[in-house]
Chain A
Amino acid sequence: MNILNIRKKSGGQVVLIVLLASAVLLTLGLSVSKKATTDVKIDTDQELLKKAFNSAESGIDYFLGTGKTNYTETKSTVKVDVKSVGVSASIDSGTKISSGNPFLFWLVDHFPNGDIGASYYKGTVNLCADSSFNGALKIDYYYNDGSSYKVLTRVYNTGTNTVIGAIQDGFNSIKCITLTDLLNGNSLLLAVMPIGDQTKLTLNNGGLGQDFPLQGQDITSTGNVGGVNSQVKVSKRYKVPSFMLNSITAGGSVLNQ
């Protein structure tokens, strides 16, 4: 084989290689072009969504400040929806309550200014945790015995001995605790704290009692900007700082020496 022959045979292969390389490059180019178009689209939606969220937040503040539930601005509208929590046979925490966070179930109503009212829940309550809950529940039961405020504390363990000294057999099969010994009046508050696990907490009257007092409000504000909606939901409950449920609370230590 001479050199010319070799060159004749090699010329076809080069063309093929060039064509393949061109195809690869074209494919890569088209792909890059598609992604760039999508990114532009996403950036636009995010911007609108952020504006809608801000409008929704502004709607909460607007409601809290004015009590009005609708207002419109340039390129955006806001609608506020307010729902009362409580005044029903069953109330819940809405979300899972993490370990160490107390959740308050009020057994007395409040005056509009937030002060404690004089209408007390009477009857048995069922306190339920998630079926998967595997911790303990600390329950501080506040009441007024007619002359002074009192509090009773109980801790219920589920399967494991989370809290030393806790009641072991308080939960039933559906992870509910029936509190039958609440005062038939003057009951004020159940402060329930999950320990060792998180759970959603539900309190119901078991179908035997009256409705629970008003616990607060759930405020939902929906903002729309450029056709993009965003919702912000806020619970406005009667609440106290959790350290006020304790006699001693420390972010460091309590030392004696």
Chain B
Amino acid sequence: MNFFKKILFILALLLFFIGGVKNSLAYGTCSKNSKCQPSNEGCVSSSLAGVCGFSGNTGCAKAGYPYQACNPTGCANGYTTVSNDNMAHTISCGCCSNTGDTSADTIVCYRKTCSQAEGTSCYDSPVNGVVPTSCSQYGTSYAPGFDYVARDGTCPTNKICCEKLDLCKDSGMCLNGINCGADGCSCTTTKGIAWNLGYDSSRTCTSTQKFWKCNTAMNGTCGSTNDYYFPSEGSPQYGPAPNYTKIWSTQAECELNCCDLSKNNWTDRQCVKKQPSSCSNADSHCLGVGYTQDATSTTTANDTCHGKKVDTTPTCGIANNHSFSFTPPISSLCSNGTFNSLTDHGGAWTWACNGTNDCGASKTVNCGTDAINNLPECTCDSSIAAGVCSGHTFNQPAVTGNCKTKFDCPGTKTAVNAYCSSGSCSPQCGQWNNATCLPGNDCGTQCGNLSCGGSCGTSDTGSPGMTTLSSPVETIISPKVYASGVSVVSLNWLKNSDSKASYYNIGVWHDEPGKPDIRDLDFDTSDINTVSTKTGFLTPGVLYRWGVNTKNITCLGYIYSGIYESGWSTLGYFKRSETSITTPTLTFNNFIGEVVPPDSTDKNHICQSEFKNGTDQIISVIATSSDTNAVSAYLRMNNNSSNPLLIGPVSYINNKAIFPIKDDGSSYTSDPYNVVAYSVNNLGETSPDSGSKVLKIWNCEVGVGGSFKKGIDNNPFTDFTNLTPLKFNEITMNIDELNSNYNGILIFGNTYNYSFKKNNFKGTSSMEVSDINGYFTPKDKLLIDSNITNPYLQTHTVSANFILYPYSDPWWQTDGNVLVKNEIKNNIPSDKNISTRGLVAATAGNITNNLSFVGDLNDNNNGYEYFYKNYYVNLGQGVTATTVGTGQTGVVFIQDLDINNDITINNDQFLMVVVKGNINIGVGVSKIDGIYVANGNININGKSDQQLNINGSLYSSINSINITRGFTTESKNNTDPAVNIKYNPGLLFTMPGKLMKVLSGWKQGI
């Protein structure tokens, strides 16, 4: 054996081994009166011992035993049938145990799986003894292109629903009646116009919404698949509701689309989709070829379209049988008895006859022929005498007509074909005869028309006119372009008014390299009134075309092999954009276009100085987009105190859309806005929002206020006589003099100089401004900015206090006694004393002193003449002179004295100047020593930055001393006296002794 032969031998052994294992698993042994083990699916036990297995149609029977036809209704209680299992093979009929063997044989209910054809069923069959909890437990042995999917919640408890997975529907591509292409999807049934449940599986269908039979509303739960209904258990429609049955929202709609009650009086009519059919004109309203009627419908002989589907390989039998209006002759049913009742078994009849049994007792005898089971015609009670029944067998008679003949299956009934004598009946029973009706012919030969009494005119024959598209209608050169976000678009056309138009066929195509004319949509409308549908999922960038072909099916029955159509309308072209609109950027710009960055708080507000344009505050909010398809932009502004604002559209010009914003007092609230921009392109597509920016829009008004304080002691300043009004630039503040404060309104971003009315005010002032943390710092000018008030708060205030240092009027001061006969006036500060240590006495005036007396304490009235006589004449003391200067001592007598230079003496010297007239002390004098006596006034006037120090005494015998001298630098008047008279006690003791030895008084003696 060469090498290859060895290999082949080994492979053969492996195959034999595998086959043996498989066979051993596939087949089991069934004993009589026992059932096959659960592992032997597909097998039922029979009354005969044998081998269970899957072996083709041999089913459950032992090999070599004949296959028995089932009678679904004839099974004894406790037995059931096995329907299609959709496995690799098909068992047309299940097995039943032999009648009478009911106690021993138990039929196991094998699982039912979802049928490929019907899609959905609810089953409770266990798999290997376990009730499945999901469809996946049923396996995946579905037809190619199908999968299972659970429809949880749609089946009763302990049952599970399996449904063919329709990729088209379940992926959402069949929304709104869109037919999917040949990609495995098969949305062959479109949604109803008024029935748009979407995919909300939780939605409950109300009884008034759904009609699958025209006169019966449905109760139950909407399925997750559009247009399909899964009735609830217990509802009238539970169980037999056909899959893919069109659900209509109203009875009228159901009737309009399905049935024509005007022609029929059915009370339980199933509404199925109206389809083009080869039925005759008279019947086309109802069912088309290939569609079945409800099995329970009551049919009539001329209801030719309500027959069963014509099989291409017809098999006679009950499934294809058809009932006709036929009743056996009752008079011949009972030979020796009287007729009791007749039962129609769907083409075969049984009846009962009243007779007398062998015992002579009256007895009702069941008669008739069970043709299906080939049972004896009459199974009478053994106690009943034979011959009661007629012995006849009544089968369906042949029906003849001009157009159709439905043949019975004459001959001997066999186990294989109960009705046909052989398998070659032609035509088969229940099969239509074909007939051809030509336009213009009368209907004498219409199929299914027994009488052929109708007629068909020529007016509705032929092709209808072409339909005009409504949208999209763009051409191949300039197709309609939809936004990238639009995956499905509407197709609209104008209703075709041609009376020949019956419905529309809509086509959508696109081309691919090597695959031209790929049709994406092939959709027939249900009527001529439907003028809109939708595409399926559009691939971005693909150029689609679409059109409408109008069809005429009114006399479809005449031409069995074709229909009239208008041909395609002018095609419209469209595409879905490949690119989406880009997000714009958002900037806040000033009026000259400069971008104003956020401030230190990462925000912007309209009162920023950068937004100032003259007296206005204007923001140019600019959305910038690099997307050349962006045509306009919007602003959306949100804050906490108002409804969102949407501003726009504003067209893009040079990629910029500008939104001028100015506070008009009403359009905006003062809470900061979060501002975003978005673009809209020429396809109507909206971009994502730009990044959000914070913007506050307000009137820029800031409340300013503060207090007036005295700089000396920081107490409230109350003397506003010479200070009002207070102005910031030209804005006058409101002053509350009683409380020493003020308030007013200023504008954010402006700089203000403050001013007082200074007509009589002498002094200085300073301003201190609080920052946002409450710290005051001196400021020369008031700049209203974010350092001193937070622009993003609801209220905006600024605190600015004024510290006032009024200039004092010139004043004088001394350290000695002041005795004034009349009045003292001195502008001395209130905290100062006129005399630092002496007594101040006067009749009136502002005597501000620690030691004071109001009254005249001046006993002096000696003037020039007195001193001249007593000192100069009597004592020879003193000199006369015209002026006095430094170096002069003693007593000097002068008529008038102007002192313009300093006069000083030594500490041990004495100077007394006695003036007959006035003494005037000039501003250039800063120091005078000595005692100065004048009959006239002593005047000390003018301004000088030098303080005048008089070290001695001033004495005006009968006149006044006027001291108005002040400092040139007026602020010095606040703290220092311009004239300081410092009493010199030494002059008393440097005075010539001769002048001291005077008579002090006399009196007459006794």
Contacts and interface: CB of A to CB of B under 8 A. Distances in A.
B959 to A, nearest CB: 5
Interface stretch (B374-382, B616-624, B816-824): B816-824
B814 A256 contact: no
Contacts of A144: 989
Q: Which of A113, A238, A245, A253 has the most CB of B within 10 A?
A: A253
A207 to B, nearest CB: 27
Contact of A110 (B853, B862, B993, B1004): B993
Q: Which 10 A-B pairs have the closest CB atoms?
A: A231-B1005, A114-B993, A247-B816, A115-B993, A149-B986, A252-B960, A100-B857, A247-B983, A151-B985, A251-B958
B993 A254 contact: no
Interface in A112-152: 113-116, 136, 138, 140, 142, 144, 148-152
A165 interface: yes
B687 interface: no
A222 B1005 contact: yes
Contact of A162 (B837, B849, B853): B853
Contacts of B958: 251-252
A169 to B, nearest CB: 16
Nearest to B960: A252
Given A243-B955, A248-B820, A248-B953, 9 more contacts: A114-B992, A164-B852, A188-B989, A230-B1004, A235-B1001, A243-B819, A245-B817, A248-B955, A253-B960
Contacts of B398: none
B296 interface: no
A246 B988 contact: no
A237 B994 contact: no
A181 to B, nearest CB: 15
B959 A252 contact: yes
B399 to A, nearest CB: 147
Interface stretch (B359-367, B662-670, B805-813): B805-813
Nearest to B982: A247
Contacts of A247: 814-818, 835, 838, 952-954, 981-983
A239 interface: yes
Interface residues of B, number: 81
A248 B816 contact: yes
A150 B983 CA distance: 9
Given A188-B989, A189-B988, A253-B820, A114 B851 contact: no
Contacts of A245: 817, 988
A40 B690 CA distance: 137
A234 interface: yes
Interface of B: 809-812, 814-827, 835, 837-839, 841-842, 845, 849-853, 855-862, 867, 907, 931, 933, 937, 952-964, 981-989, 991-1006
Interface of B is mostly: mixed
Contact of B817 (A142, A162, A246): A246
Contact of A138 (B839, B861, B985): B839
B821 A251 contact: yes
Q: Which of B817, B822, B931, B1001 has the most CB of A within 10 A?
A: B817
B813 to A, nearest CB: 10
6 contacts: A149-B985, A153-B851, A188-B989, A232-B1003, A253-B960, A256-B963
Contacts of B995: 114, 240
Interface in A184-208: 188-189, 193, 195-196
Interface string A80-103: 000000000000000100111100
Contacts of A3: none
B824 A253 contact: yes
Interface in A59-76: none
Contacts of B984: 149
Contact of A233 (B818, B860, B1005): B1005
Interface in A150-178: 150-153, 155, 162-166
Contact of B1000 (A189, A236, A251): A236
Given A148-B907, A244-B988, A254-B818, A220 B1005 contact: yes
B858 A249 contact: yes
A222 B1006 CA distance: 9
B567 to A, nearest CB: 119
B1006 A231 contact: yes
A48 interface: no
Contacts of B964: 255-257
Contacts of A189: 988
B851 A164 contact: yes
A146 to B, nearest CB: 13
Interface of A is mostly: strand
Contacts of A238: 996-997
Contacts of A196: 853, 855
A226 B812 CA distance: 63
Q: Which of A162, A232, A241 has the most CB of B within 10 A?
A: A241
A243 B958 CA distance: 13
A242 interface: yes
A233 B1003 contact: yes
B961 A153 contact: no
Contacts of B1004: 53, 230-233
A234 B1005 CA distance: 9
B762 to A, nearest CB: 13
A250 interface: yes
A233 B851 contact: no
Contacts of A138: 817, 839
Contacts of A163: 839, 851-853
Nearest to A138: B839
Given A100-B857, A142-B988, A164-B853, A250 B821 contact: yes
Contacts of A237: 998, 1000
Contacts of B858: 100, 249-251
A213 interface: no
A135 B400 CA distance: 165
A140 B817 contact: yes
A113 B907 contact: no
Nearest to A234: B1002
B1002 A254 contact: no
A222 B1005 CA distance: 8
A248 B960 contact: no
Contacts of A221: 1005
Given A138-B839, A251-B957, A256 B860 contact: no
Nearest to B821: A251
Contacts of B852: 163-165
Nearest to B870: A241
A150 B815 CA distance: 11
A242 B817 CA distance: 11
B820 A254 contact: yes
Given A248-B814, A248-B953, A251-B957, A257 B825 contact: yes
B953 A148 contact: no
A56 interface: yes
A221 B1006 CA distance: 11
B953 A254 contact: no
Contact of A254 (B856, B867, B960, B999): B960
A21 B982 CA distance: 84
B985 A142 contact: yes
A151 B814 CA distance: 13
Q: Which of A240, A242, A245, A249 has the most CB of B within 10 A?
A: A249
Given A148-B986, A153-B837, A255 B963 contact: yes
A189 B989 CA distance: 10
Given A116-B989, A148-B907, A247-B835, A252 B999 contact: no
Given A164-B851, A257-B964, A101 B954 contact: no
Q: Which of A148, A243, A246 has the most CB of B within 10 A?
A: A246
A111 B989 CA distance: 12
B850 to A, nearest CB: 4
B988 A240 contact: yes
Interface in A23-62: 53, 56
A150 B838 CA distance: 13
Contact of A100 (B816, B850, B859, B937): B859
A253 B981 contact: no
